[in-house]
Structure 1
Amino acid sequence: MDDSLRKVVELLLPRFADWAVIDLITETGEVHRSLVLHAGSDGLTVREDLQGPMPPVPASSPMPLSKALRGVSSALAGPKTYAVPADSEVAVAQRKLFAATGIETAAIAPVKGPSEVLGAITLGRTAVEEPFAPADLDLLENIGRRIGIALENARHYQRQRQIAATMQRYLLPQLPRLVGVEMTVRYLPAPDASHVGGDWYDAFPLPNGDTALVVGDVVGHDLEAAAGMAQLRNMLRAYTWAQDDPPHHTVERLDQAIGHITDVSMATLVLARLETAPSGGRALTWTNAGHPPPLLLDPVGRTGFLGDGKGILLGACGDRPRPQGHVHLHPGSTILLYTDGLIESRRQPLDAGLQRLKDDAADLRHRQLDDLVDDLLVRSRPADNDDDVAVLAIRIPRNP
């Protein structure tokens, strides 16, 4: 919102005024002087010293700014308007503004969205011989309405994102404590506030002592995708816990059910089972439903993607058998499960993102597990990616 306001004001200065002031009403009803911009001989200057919190809006003041902040009307004003005894703290603040800026003539209008008043805009000129006229108020009111529509839409998007982000945050689980295994997870929301995804990770113990590991992504970038993620995650937990089946059978059952008892149309995921191998150490069994392949860093420094167990995404064909992969994890091995936000770019093919992740992981393999994941998020995540990212990593210590 700050960037958008700045761009709008830059269109007005200096062609229409020397000063522009934006006062916004927050969602809690407080008034904040969000932008004070001056057009001088050396260009546009932000006067941060004049910005900041404002007094509450008086309920019945007839002064121009107070009426604009209540959405009542627009008006012309000048230093003489506020030279009378102040009827509110807002009037005092406006008097100080005129004194600090040298504004001699001003036009003040509400910033109104379709359903709420969001603030006021003040344009000021320091040249007394070029006063604003009543006809100028029509243009300023139109500008205020356009700003209001943009701000109200931005707030709606932000509210939706906050709801979805809160839901995602509460759905992402606490990690189980595993003896002889290190584990860490990360979740990064989408950089674009209008995008909310269905990415998730999960890890939970099973009745026989194994541990289920999941990373998945419900198709979509909205609140519906986040809600679908919750449905799918809970179903997968229930199936995995209730039936002592290998991962590919569990996902086959899930694929048959999602079209009938969830709102999810399509999704990708990796379901893995971390087991204690009969010969000692650990083993990983997994199935992959259209998801980026897990990455293995072996004890001698080699990195490679686990391409076995690769099947089509959920929702595409529910009656097709699913393959399964299996690998023994020697001490010192690291497994990385992740969503496509870590590798996808609009400028490069997916293979380039996978290769970048592989190379970065090889360079960082000696780091502690938390540091490894943090550094990968910085190095491997494409700058132009607008998706969220979920990462789950496990390591089998050399000396547990």
Structure 2
Amino acid sequence: MAGPKHTEQAGASSAPAVPAELAARLEAIGTGAYVVDAQGCIIAANARAVALLARPVEHLIGQDAHDLLHRDLHGQPIARTQCAMRHAFLEGRPAQADRDYFARGDGVVLPIGWHITPYYVGQELTGTLVLFHASGRTVASGPPVQEARGSLSELERLALLADTTTQLTSTLDVEEALDRLVRLVVPRLADWAVIDLITERDEVWRSAVVHGEDDRLTHLEELQGPMPPIPDESPMPLSRALRGVASTVAGPHTYQGEPDSGIAVEQRRLFEATGMHSAAIVPIRSTREVLGALTLGRTDKQLPFATADLPLLEDIARRAGLALDNARLYQRQRKVAETMQKHLLPQMPHVPHLRMTVRYLPAPHASQVGGDWYDAFPLSDGATALAVGDVVGHDLEAAAGMAQVRNMLRAYAWSQHEPPSRVVERLDRAVQHITEVTMATLLFARLERMEAGHWQLTWTNAGHPPPLMLSRDGVAEYLTGAHGILLGSTGAAPRVDATVTLPPGSTLVMYTDGLIEERGLSLDEGLQRLSRHAAALAHRPLDSFTDQLLRRVRPADNDDDVALLALRTPLHGEDDPMWTPQRRSGE
């Protein structure tokens, strides 16, 4: 055994000075011993430790003890999150293990048993004392093996946080965000993931209880569902997390006593049903409020969670909270928009012998309402007014402008017994002076029944795609007449009308540009695609015709609203046998 001269900080100029009394005390210990400071760096080691580790004292002092020494059986580094010695060190409590491994300076793995305890000199905490002894024969370092599941290097931690941000901020759907959160942490960090969310009515709902095994995720639906209310004063871990008080490490023993609340009862049931022997429970917060709690659980196949694991989990939960808050705000806005849409889009009038159906498809990434619209209403002279229009935009502002334009059009069309062109000219002037609409298109027509069962359509077009007329035999024709400039244009030339007689059994399709515009295609190509598919579907009942037309023609990457109005005239003055009852999209 080497003499006391080894108990010093030789070669470690940055290490703190070691009191002679500490050095003498370590040499009096009959086994390997060293002391680490609050950061886990070695500040003193005795001669027995130097001999066991086959390392000069200058190669020990000032080094992080975990990084330098701690290994698995094969000589591979152990992640800090999986190190029981480091867990106890950070928690400031005594601990011991009968079987562990240190790396010697000669490349040999040394089986050891160890004991650690906080070390005091007088009333002052100096650091942590580590005692260790050889517990078997040394073994040569083996080939690299995969670290225990759940262990993460510092680089992997940073990658996980970056992945969390990317995955969770790229969706505005709450359920999708929860699913992505679970897949990020299971099985990478834990065997179980449990998510409890606080609803807008301050009720707790256990949204997910998920187990990961063999790269498969299994939901335990019997453990999901409503939870008891959050107790105000309970010191139990989940109750504290749901109040946003603190993160905690817990285990089955935590909930073995007399339960202080219904949540405690549910937590005991959770631990019993899942077999978790260790759990980390952290709040899920947004910038405004506590949204819930994330519980990660490990079975006995992994080392238990420690307080050192909580900062990483809190960071993940914080990012999840921001994503969930954004998703909730979006869904709240979407619900408001859906309600607004329901009241803005009109019911279709009943016109004897005429079949009519309408559809409205919102922009996929907007707020479920926009500037595209349709309308049909009776006129004071017995004719029927038809309109399809588009106010630029697909948001609530565009929807508000659409409502203004539509209501003014109804008023002018009802009160003024004039052709469509004169009505739209009046609307032109009004839009410029009493609305905030900057740009809009409009197709406005009047349809009236003539003698012998014929129907006459008269229309004017303000910058809108032309209506499509289909014969019963599938002959398609765009009605390109009466085309003028957009609504609201100053100094516009007088608008004109065009008139056509709709043959018996013919179909008229009025639509907005979201149906025919697609990236990479010209407008002519979009119109050709619409007419080709419409002609092939002309024999179908009107509702089926409309649904299939939207399914076939609407571009897959469409990012605009689509409004569509389709009508069919009867055969020779009789009801069309192909007719099915009219309905709106969503009814």
Q: TM (normalized to structure 1)?
A: 0.93
Structure 1 range deviating more: 185-194 or 357-366:
185-194
Q: Tell me, yes or no, if structure 1 residue 105 matches structure 2 residue 278.
A: yes
TM-fit CA distance, 1:318: 5.7
Equivalences, count: 400
Q: 1:140 to 1:42 in 2, by over 3 A?
A: closer
What CA distance in whole angstroms lies between the structure 2 residues aligned with 1:94 and 1:151?
Answer: 24
Which position in structure 2 is the counterpart of 1:189? 362
What CA distance in whole angstroms lies between the structure 1 residues aligned with 2:488 and 2:313?
Answer: 52
Which position in structure 1 is the counterpart of 2:194? 21
- Whichever of the two has the greater Rg, that structure is 2
Aligned 1:231-270 pairs, distance under 5 A: 231-270=404-443
Match of 1:157 among 318, 330, 333: 330
Query: Which SS does the other structure have where 1:202 is aligned?
Result: strand
Query: Which SS does the other structure have where 2:461 is aligned?
Result: strand
Q: Tell me, yes or no, if structure 1 residue 209 matches structure 2 residue 382.
A: yes
Whichever residue aligns with residue 292 of structure 1, its letter is P
Whichever residue aligns with residue 45 of structure 1, its letter is T
Match of 1:295 among 465, 468, 481: 468
Aligned 1:78-157 pairs, distance under 5 A: 78-127=251-300, 130-157=303-330
Query: Which SS does the other structure have where 1:355 is aligned?
Result: helix
Whichever residue aligns with residue 187 of structure 1, its letter is Y
Structure 1 range deviating more: 383-392 or 314-323:
314-323
Q: 1:319 to 1:169 in 2, by over 3 A?
A: same
Segments of structure 1 that go 5 or more residues without pairing to the other structure are: none
What CA distance in whole angstroms lies between the structure 2 residues aligned with 1:286 and 1:196?
Answer: 27
C-alpha offsets along residues 13-65 of structure 1, whole Å, 9 cap, x if unaligned?
Answer: 32322221111122233322222232322443333343333233233322111
Any conservation in 2 of the 1:272–1:286 contact (CA below 8 Å)?
yes
Any conservation in 2 of the 1:218–1:228 contact (CA below 8 Å)?
yes
Q: 1:318 to 1:275 in 2, by over 3 A?
A: farther
What CA distance in whole angstroms lies between the structure 2 residues aligned with 1:352 and 1:83?
Answer: 71
Matched-pair identity in %:
62
Query: Which SS does the other structure have where 1:384 is aligned?
Result: coil
What CA distance in whole angstroms lies between the structure 2 residues aligned with 1:58 and 1:347?
Answer: 58
Aligned 1:168-179 pairs, distance under 5 A: 168-179=341-352
Which position in structure 2 is the counterpart of 1:40? 213
Q: 1:9 to 1:129 in 2, by over 3 A?
A: closer
Q: Tell me, yes or no, if structure 1 residue 306 matches structure 2 residue 479.
A: yes
Which position in structure 2 is the counterpart of 1:74? 247
What CA distance in whole angstroms lies between the structure 1 residues aligned with 2:294 and 2:558?
Answer: 35
Any conservation in 2 of the 1:287–1:310 contact (CA below 8 Å)?
yes
Whichever residue aligns with residue 419 of structure 2, its letter is P
C-alpha offsets along residues 327-347 of structure 1, whole Å, 9 cap, x if unaligned?
Answer: 111211111112233333335
Match of 2:231 among 58, 77, 85: 58
TM-fit CA distance, 1:230: 1.1
C-alpha offsets along residues 172-230 of structure 1, whole Å, 9 cap, x if unaligned?
Answer: 22222212311122223333364531221111111111111011121112111111111
Whichever residue aligns with residue 198 of structure 1, its letter is G
What CA distance in whole angstroms lies between the structure 1 residues aligned with 2:214 and 2:543?
Answer: 52
Any conservation in 2 of the 1:20–1:123 contact (CA below 8 Å)?
yes
What CA distance in whole angstroms lies between the structure 1 residues aligned with 2:351 and 2:206?
Answer: 52
Q: TM (normalized to structure 2)?
A: 0.64
What CA distance in whole angstroms lies between the structure 1 residues aligned with 2:220 and 2:423?
Answer: 61
C-alpha offsets along residues 130-154 of structure 1, whole Å, 9 cap, x if unaligned?
Answer: 2222232222222222111111111
What CA distance in whole angstroms lies between the structure 2 residues aligned with 1:96 and 1:216?
Answer: 58
CA RMSD of aligned residues (A): 2.2
C-alpha offsets along residues 347-387 of structure 1, whole Å, 9 cap, x if unaligned?
Answer: 54433332222122112111221221122222222222233
Q: Tell me, yes or no, if structure 1 residue 379 matches structure 2 residue 546.
A: no
Q: 1:42 to 1:11 in 2, by over 3 A?
A: closer
Query: Which SS does the other structure have where 2:305 is aligned?
Result: coil
What CA distance in whole angstroms lies between the structure 1 residues aligned with 2:457 and 2:177?
Answer: 50
TM-fit CA distance, 1:109: 1.3
Whichever residue aligns with residue 91 of structure 1, its letter is A
Higher relative contact order (CA 8 A, sep 6+): 1
Any conservation in 1 of the 2:509–2:566 contact (CA below 8 Å)?
yes
